[in-house]
Amino acid sequence: MTAPGLALTGSAAFGDTPVFGPLTLEVPAGQWTCLLGPSGVGKTTLLRLVAGLDELTQFDGRITTTDGDPLRGRIALMAQSDLLMPWLSVLENTLLGARLRGETPDKTHARDVLARVGLSDHQDKRPGALSGGQRQRVALARTLMEDRPVVLLDEPFSALDAKTRAEMQDMACKVLEGRTVLMVTHDPGEAARLGHQIVVMEQTGLRDVTPPPGAIPRAVDAPETLRTQAELLAQLLRAA
């Protein structure tokens, strides 16, 4: 699997109200791009446009890939809420995509993936019996089962406590390595840890922020990471 890079150029409006102005977002192949910004600035709309989900917003522009093939069918999505089906077991939830496409579910592979996210002992449980962090790991396993080169993350860890969030960031980095990841986040610390690219979205457009040095996930207590985190927060405060 070679992950393509992608680029979105254009503007979006909801009726007469502009959602975001003319902008260009480039998401390099095989890397993490973190999109940060205040609420209501259109981050999620942008992500939904890339996912091909937004039908109500008028988008005037283009979404392109570096290999020229369409994005359709090459995307996996992970959102803030885990979106697990409460009536299915952990294993069945992991296999949801295959089930929805009418493919033969590959249980062996699903068990391997669950083992990678540390849920081997929970595969027959219902989501209701799991903690928030475990549920989000099932969602991550489901995303991995899709095995798509492009992964869209919409604040996937924002509802977790600080420790679980940091653990999930480490795990996601490891298991999504080599894929093109576009992550929308509210959390400057998360962007500083995970972004190969960090982009701040404001009313006026996008602004690139130099990421801290080093491979991801960066250590939570590395001085450069903390400095970038503080800078990002200061920028968000100024923008608001």
Chain residues binding other proteins by CB under 8 A are 48, 51-53, 73, 75-77, 79, 81, 83, 85, 87, 96-97, 99-102, 146
Q: Cβ of 106: how many Cβ atoms within 10 Å?
A: 13
Q: How far is the CB of 87 from other proteins (least distance, A)?
A: 5
What is the spatial distance between Cα 59 and Cα 45, in angstroms, rounded to a whole number? Answer: 10
Distances (CA, A) of 174 to 92, 177, 194: 23, 6, 11
Q: Which residues pair with 20 in a beta bridge?
A: 12
Nearer to other proteins, 22 or 87 (CB): 87
> Residue 24 or 81: which CB sits closer to other proteins?
81
Block residue for tokens 């939830």: 93
Nearest distance in Å: CB 48, other proteins: 8
- Least distance from other proteins to the Cβ atom of residue 100, Å: 4
Residue labelled with tokens 């400057």: 188
**C-alpha of 102 from chain center:** 26
Other beta carbons within 10 angstroms of residue 161's beta carbon come to 12
Question: How much helix, strand and coil, in percent to the nearest 5, is found in the chain?
Answer: 35, 25, 40
Residue closer to other proteins (CB basis): 99 or 186 = 99
Nearer to other proteins, 19 or 145 (CB): 145
Min separation Cβ 28 and other proteins, Å: 22
Residue closer to other proteins by CB (options 81, 131) is 81
Q: How far is the CB of 85 from other proteins (least distance, A)?
A: 7
